[in-house]
A and B are shown apart, each in its own frame.
Chain A
């Protein structure tokens, strides 16, 4: 025998082949294949039955089935109907599950066979009910049911084969899972159970051995053997037998007691499963069933954290909450459980961008330093009056920052600033950081502040300030040093290391941003296809085991029929093709992705050719009448691009066309292998002309008839993008523009520049991970931070007004003038004053005006002008040199300088008093103008530098036009002008109209100033409440969207 080729391994069973393998083929597989009964011994040789034939009953091939004999279990290699049995995969409550192969087609699947001794009518009904319930769910995280049939007198259920074993196997082989892996697995389970709940199915037997792993490691819920329908619609629930059914280690107390159950019973079992994954043991275990039931009902479980200290305490608490005896104490829904669990999973976070971290850091500084400064200016500063120097050292704010970071980040994992911007600390793997790590971080981050505090403690604050005052260069350097230190800390941050700064690297932490939860919107089944069934055309009553309900559509390749599986009680789509059409390729048959239809069965004979597919509820992409939001569409883009990648990889790429996209009601998009039911052949989309876009040429050719053309992936995505944009644009006036990156992505794709499917899938995934909307908090906080200095300045200016007035009473004017005379006589104009008069002035001032001389608040007040400061030294000296002046001396001195005093009073009366109101109010007005002007200038510069503004950019937002494109500099400046227009009007008035500069001279100017401030404040609040637009956005036709 010529051995043309000896492969090292059998392609079927994977065993190593010996050199003497007969014909170079695996002998075991050869025997098994040869021994399998030929199904179609009655059919002509050209016939091929391609799939499981549900409901065929005892066919000619089932006579050799061991099920008819005494053997309760099937052995590997045995045949059952058209299937060859492989290894046993597991045993459920009602039967065994085997790996099996449909001999003729070679399709591999899992076969669940009703246990031999359970052959009563009730058992059979229950067994088939499992199939019906499970078949009503199609979700990426549930095991898909292909069909149900009866072979050799035994009912079987055929389902998706999952090669990765169960979660129980994983724990048995590799020990307990990491918290992140366990959380990720349980999130998958929750996804599947949530879909089951939406379909009205309660599982009732969730446990690690019922959770299966697919080739990619995703977890799928299977074995709906104990499930019941919570709806009374399609499946008879049947009276429960009372008493307990389930697995007691994982079942809640109410299930053990045989009480009515709801979703919270499954949530308990999910918690028990999570417990097992984390610790390797179920929450309760007793060899004796009765003892176990007693413990489940009465004992509190040992917290997972006690069994395994590296389980985060919050996760441990969550598990215990799921395991609460009272259902009311458990998470009320899968959504609640999932959102509590998500932070522990892995895919939840993305590295925080530096811009957002900067703003968060400023927010923290703002939150800590602002109260500190207020306290200082009202409390501490009073005690330190007179000690002001040019080098004002403040080590204490830094120390408090350290304590703040240490406590808040150590205990909660995020400072307030981080929390406001959706950031938190995490380990590089995405897990929770520990207190010690936060402490290391805080120490490094605040090293400079802490060192300064240490120096102050050693030297003494005043000495340091004095020393610094004599070394002004160093004082300046101190400010520069902290900036340089921050720069050094962040010098290590790169995209590839998750923007890790030095303190991140040393402490083994990262700052991460939450990836916004992306929940696909479940839409109710809308356009029912029933209206489109054509029952008049000559359709067969049956296709294999399926009843035919009507024709859904036809095209060049064949017809699509609406079928019904009478056993599983679900609808199927049947594609009628010529009998000589090639059968569905094996690779396509085995595809199990939510983005493709599951292939159920098929047949090719001389007169008959059909394939049956699952029929998910939904609507065709092109036939979708109403507008859709971006939150829906981005999920479709992610689905379609991922499917393009998978299909290319697996060689299962279908013909690509817009009318072959189906939108499921659970929000997923499906690539169909045939035109979508409900779309007529000429029902081309509005953008049908686009379907001819060649990715390279980019020109729009005449539209080929749909169904005849297969688009290149890039051209397909171009057509999809256009439809998505059109749908989003027609979503109504309320619709806001898409996030900037989404607009850019759709624009690029629309031009046919999507690139390879891999690149497109990456881009789509990145866009999906972005938030759809602008968060009010994120938008408002920088606004508040930016406007606070101006506000403080304005409020402060008005606050000092009374102080200023009190500074210019007639008595004080007299004091100033006399002091000025004294001061000038000490200098170059000594001769101007004769010594006797000088002595009289000094005596008079020291005696009569002692209160003013020693009024430190007056001398150090903000309103004290530079001239006044020059008098301060004289005043201080005078008060010190003449501590006690007799009243008689004062009176004598007063008499001596009476003419001078009279002149001063006259001057006050004629020139000072009338102007006083005006000049006093001028100061707060100038300060207000200065504050507003500076803030305005800053905003203007920022708007010119980065269209939309630097702050908007830092917090990860962008300003766009109605069509979604980013605004240019001109519109950016326009936005600033509009936003600041009240202030600008006021400033203009103040410049042009002197009366407006006064506050209390008349009512109108005061009203004007106050109105300005109020209008600005209202605008700010309005922007915070309507973060996507704000007042200026509305007036300039711009929106703020996530970048």
Chain B
């Protein structure tokens, strides 16, 4: 199963069991959610150059789990923990940088941070707080990743057209133009399209829960987290 749930907090907390697998899982999480943090740092007032350095430095330190003893997981949310850690990092920025310079042998993350500033320029200009921007970005990242992933799976079956035609159905509606029109476009039948829509919805549902489950401590918290993110997006 692709969406294997990794108990990120376990990885973080149990330094002794730092296996290659769990470390890799944590790195993947960090790679996924680095941009929301970058946006947060930029919105705090740092320029592009500084934000880039700070974000890189933070993740290096975070993965090395150095200097974050004072930060505790909040209700088991990775999102909240990451943000709290970043705040902690920024407030002790100088010391952290100094420590980093001494080097720890940890390889840097491949964050693809070069186009970060290009993305940041498209962030809404309205005066939202850095925290809100972070959370909003986080939620959008979750969705982006799921859609990317689903599209990849459809493309692997050579059905990318179908995905693009039907993704609007993920909102719960019939496809724009109706089943018949879509079926005609895809060279399929309305019945088959309905089945495909149903399959897509189910996959999305599963993927969403898995994605969220990665970032919470307890599977029972998935609903809470989703609700929170919906709320963030709705603000």
Nearest 9 pairs between A and B by C-beta?
A77-B230, A28-B233, A34-B208, A22-B143, A35-B226, A64-B223, A33-B172, A106-B172, A34-B204
Contact with B along A49-89 (1 / 0, CB 8 A): 00000000000000010100000000111110000000000
4 new A-B contacts at CB < 8 Å, known A23-B147, A34-B170, A48-B194: A4-B164, A22-B140, A35-B209, A106-B174
With a CB–CB cut-off of 8 A, which chain A residues contact B140? 20, 22, 27
Asked whether, in the complex, the Cβ of B191 is within 8 Å of the Cβ of A580, the reply is yes
Decide: A1 near B233, CB < 8 A? Known: A25-B170, A30-B143.
Answer: no
Any A CB within 8 A of the CB of B171:
yes
What's the minimum C-beta distance from B97 to chain A, rounded to whole angstroms? Answer: 32
Q: Does A12 contact B (CB under 8 A)?
A: yes
Bound: A5/B167 CA distance, A: 11
B122 touches A20 (CB 8 A): yes
What is the predominant secondary structure among interface residues of chain B facing chain A? helix
Residue of B nearest to A105 (CB): B172
Q: Using a CB–CB distance below 8 Å, which chain A residues touch chain B?
A: 1-2, 4-5, 10-13, 15, 18-20, 22-38, 45-46, 48, 64, 66, 75-79, 101, 103-104, 106, 580, 586
B122, B172, B202, B222, most chain A CB atoms within 10 A: B172
| B residues 194-217 in Cβ contact with A at 8 Å | 194-195, 198-199, 201-202, 204-205, 207-209
Q: Does B144 contact A (CB under 8 A)?
A: yes
Give every chain A residue within 8 A of B231 (Cβ-Cβ). Answer: 75-77
Say yes or no: A75 contacts B198, CB within 8 Å.
no
Q: Which A residues touch B172, using CB under 8 A?
A: 12, 29, 33, 36, 101, 103-104, 106
A612 to chain B, nearest CB (A): 21
In contact, B227 and A38 (Cβ under 8 angstroms): no
User: CA–CA, A13 to B230, complex, Å?
Assistant: 12
Interface CB pairs A-B, < 8 A, 9: A24-B168, A25-B168, A30-B143, A31-B226, A33-B171, A34-B170, A46-B198, A64-B223, A78-B223
- Answer yes or no: B229 CB below 8 A from chain A CBs: yes
Q: With the chains together, A35 CA to B222 CA distance in Å?
A: 9
Number of interface residues of B (CB under 8 A): 41
- Among B142, B198, B202, max chain A CB count under 10 A is at B198
Cα–Cα distance between A26 and B234 once the two chains are bound (Å): 10
The answer to whether B54 has its CB under 8 Å from any CB of chain A is no
CB distance from B147 to the nearest CB of A (A): 5
Q: Which residue of B lies closest to A10 (CB)?
A: B171
> What chain B residues lie within 8 Å of A10 (beta carbons)?
171
Instruction: Report if B61 contacts A (CB, 8 A).
Output: no
Taking CB as reference atom, which chain B residue is nearest A78? B227
With A20-B140, A103-B172 known to touch, is A28 a contact of B195 (CB < 8 Å)? Answer: no
0/1 interface trace, chain B 145-180, chain A, CB 8 Å (1 if under): 011100100000000000010011011111010000
Provide the residues of chain B in CB contact with A104, threshold 8 Å. Answer: 172
With A20-B122, A34-B205, A38-B205 known as contacts, the answer to whether A28 contacts B168 (CB < 8 A) is no
Given contacts A4-B164, A18-B124, A19-B122, contact A76 B230 (CB under 8 A): yes
Give the residues in chain B near A34, CB-CB below 8 Å. Answer: 146, 170, 201, 204-205, 207-208
Say whether, besides A2-B164, A27-B139, A45-B199, A32 and B230 are in contact (CB < 8 Å).
yes
Q: Bound state CA distance, A35 and B233, in angstroms? A: 14
The answer to whether A23 and B167 touch across the interface, beta carbons within 8 angstroms, is yes
A-side contacts of B142, CB under 8 Å: 31
Inside 8 A of B234's CB, which chain A residues have their CB?
13, 15, 28, 76-77
Please give the distance in Å from B24's CB to the nearest CB on chain A: 26
A31 contacts B143, CB within 8 Å? yes
Determine whether the beta carbon of A38 is less than 8 Å from that of B202: yes
Give the distance in Å from the alpha carbon of A66 to the alpha carbon of B221 in the complex: 11
- Which residues of A are found within 8 Å of B174, using beta-carbon distances? 106, 586
**Chain B residues whose CB sits within 8 angstroms of the CB of A24 once the complex forms:** 168
Contacting residue for A11 out of B143, B148, B173, B194, CB 8 A: B173
Verify A1–B230 contact, CB threshold 8 A: no
CA distance A25 to B207 in the complex (A): 17
Cβ A106 vs Cβ B173 within 8 A: yes
Q: Name the one of B148, B167, B195 contacting A25, with C-beta atoms under 8 angstroms.
A: B167
Closest chain A CB from B86 CB (angstroms): 22
Q: A75: shortest Cβ distance to chain B, in Å?
A: 6
Given contacts A19-B122, A35-B226, contact A30 B139 (CB under 8 A): no
Q: Which of B122, B173, B209 has the most CB of A within 10 A?
A: B173
**Which residue of chain A has its CB nearest to the CB of B163?**
A23
Contact B151 A75 (CB under 8 A): no
